[in-house]
Structure 1
């Protein structure tokens, strides 16, 4: 049935007469009226101060709140001391004498401003944060499905290995049984053959005596030879002893110890917890980054054979070219699509470079540990940018602002720090936390890599500490990531190369577990990349968020797509 109030051409009808077209509106009672019904409505409740306006400008007159003390009054003022709306009668009484009063519309504006701020926070921070949390939980669920599937496969494979070994053992024991049986049967057969031969001789003797007894020739009787004594001595009895099978009785617990057991699982909350998103400017002013989701399964796009004896790291020059370094003095530029060498540069000192990076202008930077220098290659010419005293440079990266971040070790290997340089000028040193304790581990054989995230955090992989240490632009600790369990090979976390992508994800190579960890900008684990990797060392990202993984063992660089 069509509503009579909105019949015909959906014309709004009067709330009182239900037939005439609406022309007026009572802001006090929130009632739609025709002109004929205005008077009737005004006298329907004379206790109210009816604010009747044209329908087109309804709500133009504020509907002041009713007074809780004086029911027929409206409150146009606000008592700041009592924090309540008040009417004119309240103000005239002694109850609010000397209190500071404000017009309620001023308070309303402040309240509206507060509501808008909260609405902005809900829209721009809290809602996206919860969306990210939901996405994170979904990613964890998918990862959980995959990892539990891998766990079941590992158990099944172990069971199959056991079955194979048990089958082999059963066949071996059965073969031994057959061999023992055949040996003993062969011995008994020989014994039987000797007895049957003797029986044949005895039969011949019996036949011979029968003939002699029946003869009349006495000489033959006296010529008989007796052999009974020979046959009275019976042969030795061969009694084979059978082997015994002595199965080992295995109780359930003993079998579990032999076969292997599951460690306990946990759904405990991560102590880092979720972190609220922050509204931050990206390094490129005014740029907006599209949101990309993780692929369900990372995909290997291409593989480059480098020919190094050991491959350590790579740095993307472009989406088509990548610089590489290994355990030799020459750094090589490869075509990503062709896999061929385009260029090679030999270090100025003849030492092996410790790390490489590419600047915003496309120049190659490398650190020379033995020479204590940081160098830049421009037009095939090597320029010394930084020369250190009492320190040796290790990892290096180029930042969005064009600065260089350099990791360095003291000569006695007891201190490690990160120094920011603008050209050759030292701008910042990051070494200690807010309690004066070292941020990074130290040691002669420690390995470090460094990168800057899009939110300007400084991310460093510290192999000695088995951690990724992340500080903000000011050098204040944000978090430490110490790995995720279960790891693909259940080995201790051993971080090497580190890089970041357009989503502010942090990726670090795990040398021991042959995988790459992906965590978000707040240190929450998202997933592993384990596409058949072998001793992954260096990482870098191209402009399309493909990750390049330098593998030490097989001297290959793998290009892997992991974002949609």
Structure 2
């Protein structure tokens, strides 16, 4: 990749190549420092140079310069020679009989190819390497445990013997430690290589992002594909543990043989141990989801009366035919979308009002009990407590593509708020502060909703901060979205429920303006969904990108079609 496509690159003067760019010639499409302006003006006095500040430069396609004809720009592309050509090149008959194409068409094809490779790196290859790294780390943990069990077995066997064999026990345990450390070092080196490749892949993704949005065709054509390098996954290293063979005590001189010995440890190499990751987020390996366009006029497909006497807050899709709902109530209700009828009701185990609901990858209902400090899963209509907190209270929850749970929680004194990732009941990650050590989320008795985007970003609608806060998978802040003006009712932005779709759009309910905001994965506002909503609160989307809106104002759920 061209280093100038990286985010840290500083634009330099095209003449001296050292000073920072301050001036731009719109006529010649040349970037200049102040010191080089005069030299550029007299370099070719046959044309009128239009010199402006770099910030005021025109934004249009920058056609590549022609090498044989230095004053020409290439607007055609020769497919036989695989090079850009200018009008003079064509007039010279050098490309007579060759198939020529408009360079903008080739530009679009090249950009599409890079986009596909970027998507493969981002959506498939990088997550695969993440799984591989996790697999190696798990094997290291398992190795620690099994070596510990082995050490315990030797110790127990040694207790049945006389004191004189203590030195032999220690000797064997030293051998175990040496074997363990050797194998752990081997796995650590293997993991370091995998992490290095993951870092390289991220670099390729970032570089591709920069190239995709550039208008400089020269930079685009300098891009060389490297995705094939990463398609060859690393080998799987399988540690083989030594076995402890016990012996019986007969003669002291044979203690070493009779007490027991360790077999040698080793690794086996499984070249076919890993396979490329496929997830619900990719329809087929290497291809992004079908592109869908926003409808000019979203339309209401159906409306479901939930029958709640207290306020309706939450909605979540169990499937394309069924939705779970909950409100200021101890009962969670499952509805048939097509029949618009109640199928099932579940009451909270503690008898407290639940705060939020979600559905796991396996289709189980999850709910948070703020008063009881628990997160619970409903399996076959039986409620099981999976997380119990101390000094913190769970607010809202979502299930991720990996099967983890993300839980928003408040401290007992309401002075802190954080997001915690759980695998089962095990805490894996805490997200609370930015790089400067400041809180990412508001504190206090505010409603906050959470969801995971297709690119694994974690999106939180923070009512207390009047913003949508988006961090990446590692918990680093990507952006904050604070609404768009003018809003439908010209009132402040107070976000409630949040969800995403197959296009990586982020949708959040604006309770006061009675609409839904749609922004892209980088925080750019796209449009509003109105459709006569009454105090929208909870949101979810199904697999066909239909939007479901829980309306606090009339206790009804609306199903809305907003994408082609």
TM-score of the aligned structures, taking structure 2 as reference length: 0.52
- Following the alignment from structure 2 to structure 1, what is the Cα–Cα distance between the partners of residues 380 and 210? 45
- Following the alignment from structure 1 to structure 2, what is the Cα–Cα distance between the partners of residues 120 and 435? 42
CA deviation map 1:90-125 (0-9, x unaligned): xxxxxxxxxxxxxxxxxxxxxxxxxxxx99974445
Asked if 1:368 is matched to 2:369, the reply is yes
Q: Is the 8 A contact 2:420 2:429 kept in 1?
A: yes
Pair 1:127–1:360, CA change in 2 (3 A): closer
Q: Is the 8 A contact 2:549 2:558 kept in 1?
A: yes
Pair 1:360–1:323, CA change in 2 (3 A): same
Asked if 1:541 is matched to 2:541, the reply is yes
Match of 2:455 in 1: 455
Q: Is the 8 A contact 2:116 2:288 kept in 1?
A: no
Asked if 1:438 is matched to 2:442, the reply is no
- Following the alignment from structure 2 to structure 1, what is the Cα–Cα distance between the partners of residues 318 and 339? 15
Match of 1:377 in 2: 378
Q: Aligned runs of 1:332-411 on 2, under 5 Å?
A: 332-411=333-412
- Following the alignment from structure 2 to structure 1, what is the Cα–Cα distance between the partners of residues 297 and 430? 40
Shift of 1:359: 0.6
Match of 1:312 in 2: 313
Q: Is the 8 A contact 1:470 1:479 kept in 2?
A: yes
Shift of 1:314: 0.4
- Following the alignment from structure 1 to structure 2, what is the Cα–Cα distance between the partners of residues 277 and 504? 17
Q: Is the 8 A contact 1:319 1:543 kept in 2?
A: yes
CA deviation map 1:389-423 (0-9, x unaligned): 00000110000000000000000000000000000
* SS of residue in 2 equivalent to 1:291: coil
CA deviation map 1:138-178 (0-9, x unaligned): xxxxxxxxxxxxxxxxxxxxxxxxxxxxxxxxxxxxxxxxx
CA deviation map 1:181-217 (0-9, x unaligned): xxxxxxxxxxxxxxxxxxxxxxxxxxxxxxxxxxxxx
- Following the alignment from structure 1 to structure 2, what is the Cα–Cα distance between the partners of residues 396 and 303? 25
Across the two proteins, how many residue pairs are aligned to each other? Answer: 304
Q: Is the 8 A contact 2:448 2:462 kept in 1?
A: yes
- Following the alignment from structure 2 to structure 1, what is the Cα–Cα distance between the partners of residues 378 and 457? 27
- Following the alignment from structure 1 to structure 2, what is the Cα–Cα distance between the partners of residues 372 and 531? 37
- Following the alignment from structure 2 to structure 1, what is the Cα–Cα distance between the partners of residues 469 and 486? 21
Q: Which has the larger radius of gyration?
A: 1
Match of 1:520 in 2: 520
- Following the alignment from structure 1 to structure 2, what is the Cα–Cα distance between the partners of residues 463 and 275? 33
Q: Aligned runs of 1:43-54 on 2, under 5 Å?
A: none
Gaps of 5+ in 1: 1-64, 67-117, 130-273
Match of 1:297 in 2: 297
- Following the alignment from structure 1 to structure 2, what is the Cα–Cα distance between the partners of residues 341 and 277? 48
* SS of residue in 2 equivalent to 1:464: helix
Asked if 1:484 is matched to 2:491, the reply is no
Q: Aligned runs of 1:317-332 on 2, under 5 Å?
A: 317-332=318-333
Pair 1:295–1:283, CA change in 2 (3 A): same
- Following the alignment from structure 1 to structure 2, what is the Cα–Cα distance between the partners of residues 429 and 324? 28
Pair 1:400–1:434, CA change in 2 (3 A): same
- Following the alignment from structure 1 to structure 2, what is the Cα–Cα distance between the partners of residues 276 and 514? 39
- Following the alignment from structure 1 to structure 2, what is the Cα–Cα distance between the partners of residues 123 and 350? 55
Shift of 1:476: 0.5
Shift of 1:319: 0.6
Gaps of 5+ in 2: 1-66, 69-106, 119-208, 214-226, 231-276
Q: Is the 8 A contact 1:283 1:455 kept in 2?
A: no
Pair 1:398–1:391, CA change in 2 (3 A): same
Pair 1:495–1:276, CA change in 2 (3 A): farther
Match of 1:417 in 2: 418
- Following the alignment from structure 2 to structure 1, what is the Cα–Cα distance between the partners of residues 212 and 492? 31
